Amino acid sequence: MTPTPDQPIGDLELTLTGNRQARLSDFRGRHLVLYFYPKASTPGCTQEGLDFRDAFADFTALDTAILGASRDGLKAQENFKAKQGFPFDLVADTDEALCRLFDVIKVKKMYGRESLGVERSTFLIDAQGVLRREWRGVKVPGHVQEVLEAVRALAAGT
């Protein structure tokens, strides 16, 4: 069931960079920013990741973890993380379970053709595993700063 704001998120197993297994519930006890991007190593996805990388210390200071997720395989995610120096893990959601949980697979049109792809989206989950904010159809410029402000408000209890 797709989480909605102010409702607990479901739990499922994730494959993280480093070929490690984790669960969404492993992040309880701290806030989690989970952002979905269409494809590793493409321009918009790279810029979004770099923006999260550059703000990583600010998120960490607010006891907030960051996870990036796409349908790319583990090798592509590993290469993307290493090349861009991301200090956070990426999720290789090759079975699309995480994408389906958050309902981010959408019909996209490119050059007159329709295909299914990941809609750039971000979710802010609190330390108790409750979805607090969601951004869908994200435009990269300024997005990370907006998410950071939402984390600051959540951390301040406002």
CATH number of domain containing 110: 3.40.30.10
Cα–Cα distance for residue pair 59/147, rounded to 1 Å: 9
**Has residue 45 got a pLDDT over 90?**
yes
Pair of tokens at residue 118: 């990941």
Residue 25 lies in a domain: yes
Q: What is residue 67's predicted lDDT score, i.e. its pLDDT?
A: 98
Residue 42 and residue 49 in contact, taking contact as beta carbons nearer than 8 Å: no
Tell me the range of 1-10, 27-36, 115-124 where mean pLDDT is highest. 27-36
Q: Is 99 a catalytic residue?
A: no
Q: Which residue has the tokens 């960490």?
A: 60
pLDDT band for position 2 (cuts 50, 70, 90): confident
Q: Is 73 inside any structural domain?
A: yes
The catalytic residue among 34, 40, 45, 144 is 45
Task: Identify which of 75, 66, 2 has the alpha carbon closest to the alpha carbon of residue 40.
Answer: 75
Expressed as residue numbers, the domain containing 104 is 13-156
Say what the pLDDT of residue 158 is.
63
